[in-house]
Amino acid sequence: MKEVNIATKIYVFENLNALPKDVVKLMEKAAEARKKAYAPYSQFLVGTALLLDNGEVITGSNQENASYPSGLCAERTAIYYAGAQYPNAKVLKMAIIAGSQNKITTAPIPPCGACRQTIAEYEIKQETPIEIYFMGEQGKVVKSNSLQNLLPLVFDKSVL
Ligand code: THU
């Protein structure tokens, strides 16, 4: 038996204004989309914005359901829409902003496991990395240069 250490890398920005201007704009679009979240059960609102290589910006928010598992996260709402509308476009950047309606969320909120698996699928399909930025309602912003950094040991088509 040998121990294997897996290293990953992320970058932490002190606040939104420390980011490049184009990413600030993308995060602002994610914040706008967050206002359209339908989250009556969790009161946890998430917005996301994707920049595609054709210049389009696709936004999404979480959409909940009385049958809880039928709801969908913001990230998957947006990336599935992008895949459905622009199947040949590549996703260059993804901005995510999330927080509770009941308190101020200052911790950066990473995409959930199911969303990471979904983003991985599209990153592998397009053969180029997706830059991912995520934050709470305010405060620090985390950047990952690729979904790979957020999901080591990914399950992908190579094993099928
Ligand atoms: N949610 C997202 O939209 N994205 C994530 O990555 C994590 C969770 C949503 C799902 C649900 O509507 C609410 O946040 C609470 O889990």
Write the DSSP assignment of 64-121 as a string of letters: --SSGGG-B-HHHHHHHHHHHH-TTPPEEEEEEEEEESSS---S--PPPHHHHHHHHH
- Does residue 4 belong to any structural domain of this protein? no
pLDDT of residue 108: 98
Amino acid at 35: K
pLDDT of residue 25: 98
**Cβ of 123 less than 6 Å from ligand 1:** no
How do the pLDDT tens digits run along the chain, 160 residues long? Answer: 999 999 999 999 999 999 999 999 999 999 999 999 999 999 999 999 999 999 999 999 999 999 999 999 999 999 999 999 999 999 999 999 999 999 999 999 999 999 999 999 999 999 999 999 999 999 999 999 999 999 999 999 999 9
If we measure between CA atoms, which residue out of 89, 77, 159, 101 comes closest to residue 130? Answer: 89
Which ligand 1 atom sits closest to the C-alpha of 46? 3
- Does residue 158 belong to any structural domain of this protein? no
**Cβ of 126 less than 6 Å from ligand 1:** no
- Does residue 50 belong to any structural domain of this protein? yes
Looking up tokens 């399950």 gives 155
- Does residue 1 belong to any structural domain of this protein? no
Q: Is 115 annotated as a binding residue?
A: yes
**Cβ of 97 less than 6 Å from ligand 1:** no
- Total number of domains constituting the chain: 1
Active-site residue (options: 32, 75, 121, 131): 75
Is 75 a known active-site residue? yes
Numbers of helices and strands, H then E, in the chain: 3, 6
Q: How many CA atoms lie within 13 A of 108 on its CB side?
A: 21
Which CATH number goes with the domain that contains 86?
Answer: 3.40.140.10
**Cβ of 137 less than 6 Å from ligand 1:** no
pLDDT of residue 72: 98
